[in-house]
Structure 1
Amino acid sequence: MEIFRFERAERLMTRHGSIGLHATRVAAGEGRLQVTCLTVEPGGIIGTHPATSAQMFLVVTGGGWVAGQDGNRFPISAGQGARWEAGEEHTTGTDTGLTALVLEGPLDLFEPEASSGTAER
């Protein structure tokens, strides 16, 4: 086992007009699969840009909004995610700050499982 931190905010990102965005590369897998931790400061924005591959944006703390190609903003908070296809223009912003894990690569979403009311052991 190895314990590690992924909220290190290693690189300040300013591409595509981003403001208050810090990124930490976490891991890469087979093919083009990679995981990045993003922290967006209060009032920050991830500027509009195309997804380089299929991308999942999983908010782990805080909240804000996400938008796809049409520019319509949708609220998003901890425990929610957004998925964009390769090439899809998208952007994210926050008034209060957020931390998200971004998974990029060939990924398929699982359908939600029906709750049986009992815990798995």
Structure 2
Amino acid sequence: MRKQPFKKEVGKKITKFDSNFVMSRITQTEKVAHIGCMHLDENGLIGYHQAVVPQLLLIVNGEGWVRDETDEYIKVHSGEVVFWDKGEWHETKTDRGLLSFNIALF
């Protein structure tokens, strides 16, 4: 499991084509990807399971905890992304609610 921020502060200023914005890179893939939006309400849970394919959890609102094969939970917040490799066991939970995008790479 890897965790990284995607907040504005870690992005790069883009000015090409007269643009004016900051791009925070998340991932690049040549594989087919499935993108889903997950809405976890208070006390929401994505149960402990094994990743069938490499995937990432991009947290856009709220906060919660994630874990891998260990019993140690890591706090996650909006503006962070968590990566899991194929075969990696993981779980996500929240007390207050969490909105995220799940991107599975096939």
Q: Is 1:97 matched up with 2:97?
A: yes
C-alpha distance in 1, partners of 2:104/2:60? 16
5 Å-filtered alignment, 1:1-121, equals: 31-105=31-105
C-alpha distance in 2, partners of 1:71/1:104? 24
C-alpha distance in 2, partners of 1:46/1:80? 17
Give the aligned residue type for 2:84: W
Instruction: Give the fraction of aligned pairs with identical amino acids, expressed as a percent.
Output: 31
Per-residue CA deviations over 1:20-63 (Å, capped at 9, x if unaligned) read xxxxxxxxx97441101001110111100111111110000000
Structure 2: stretches of 5+ with no match in the other structure: 1-28
Q: Which residue of 2 aligns with 1:118?
A: none
C-alpha distance in 1, partners of 2:35/2:100? 10
C-alpha distance in 2, partners of 1:82/1:71? 17
C-alpha distance in 2, partners of 1:40/1:85? 22
Secondary structure (helix, strand or coil) at the match of 2:100 reads strand
Aligned residue pairs, count: 78
Per-residue CA deviations over 1:46-94 (Å, capped at 9, x if unaligned) read 1001111111100000000010111210000100111000011100000
Secondary structure (helix, strand or coil) at the match of 1:42 reads coil
Instruction: Spell out structure 1 runs of 4+ moving beyond 3 A.
Output: 29-32
C-alpha distance in 2, partners of 1:92/1:73? 9
TM-score under structure 1 length normalisation: 0.60
